[in-house]
Amino acid sequence: MTRLEKILHDFIQELTPAKHKKPLKIKEILDDKRLVMLMIRHGLPYSFYTLIESLAPFNESDWAAYFGISTKSLQRYKKAGERFKPLQSEKIMEMAEVIYLGLELFGSADKFNAWLNQSNLALGGEKPVDLLKDSYGKSLVTGELTRISHGIFV
């Protein structure tokens, strides 16, 4: 079990102790939309965010922009070690899905980062990284990652 899966397992046990006895893989968690909804509503722990942050090719100001908060507010979450509010939790889960798909597809953070920062014809000539600021853009990026993983190139 990875450290990320351990953090999620402990958090899920808190939320639904009887339902999920065995640890779930990241893909199983992301595929269970009801579980993701429950996690978002309770607020994700800062420890989950730090692991997602460590896997992503984004800096602190990028994350603050994705959350729609200042870097100072993001630092306050870190100091307090508290759970994120549902709005930020939802954005963290959306980014976790993008990062998971990208790392699975490209096999490394460097290759995924290169793809994110390259203009993409299938995305209207936009760089995928520029589309990640809202849920519609994230949906376009995850859709493109899914198509690539199935060998569909537009």
> In sequence order, which ranges of 16-108 are alpha helices (DSSP H)?
26-31, 33-42, 46-55, 60-67, 71-80, 86-106
pLDDT at 18 (0 to 100): 65
CA atoms within 13 A of residue 23's CA, in its CB half-sphere: 12
What percentage of the chain reaches a pLDDT higher than 70?
95
Name the burial class of residue 92, with classes exposed (0-12), middle (13-18) and buried (19+) by CB atoms within 10 angstroms of its CB: buried
Q: Is residue 154 domain-resident?
A: no
End-to-end CA distance of the chain: 36
What is the total count of domains within the chain? 1
What pLDDT was estimated at residue 14?
Answer: 83
Residue labelled with tokens 């490209």 = 106
Average per-residue pLDDT for the chain: 88
Is 56 contained in some domain? yes
Distance CA 84, CA 106 (A): 29
Query: What pLDDT was estimated at residue 43?
Result: 94
Please tell me the number of Cα atoms within 13 Å of 43 on its side-chain side. 8
With respect to residue 130, please indicate whether it lies within any of the assigned structural domains.
Answer: yes
pLDDT tens-digit map of 10-57: 888 888 766 667 778 888 888 999 999 999 999 998 888 988 888 887
* d(C-alpha 122, C-alpha 124), whole Å: 6
Tell me, yes or no, whether 132 lies in a domain: yes
Q: What pLDDT sits at residue 17?
A: 65
Q: Are 52 and 92 in contact (CB under 8 A)?
A: yes
Residue whose structure tokens are 């490394």 = 108
In a domain, 43, yes or no: yes
**Residue at 145 is within a domain:** yes
Tell me which long-range contacts 135-141 makes (C-beta under 8 A, separation of at least 24). 135/94, 138/94, 138/95, 138/97, 138/98, 141/98
Q: How far apart are the C-alpha atoms of 132 and 127, rounded to whole Å?
A: 10
Domain that holds residue 71: 3-149
Residues 64-97: tens digit of each pLDDT: 988 888 999 888 888 887 889 999 999 999 999 9
113 is a domain residue: yes
Give domain status of residue 30, yes or no: yes
Q: What angle do CA 61, 85, 100 make, to 5 degrees?
A: 60
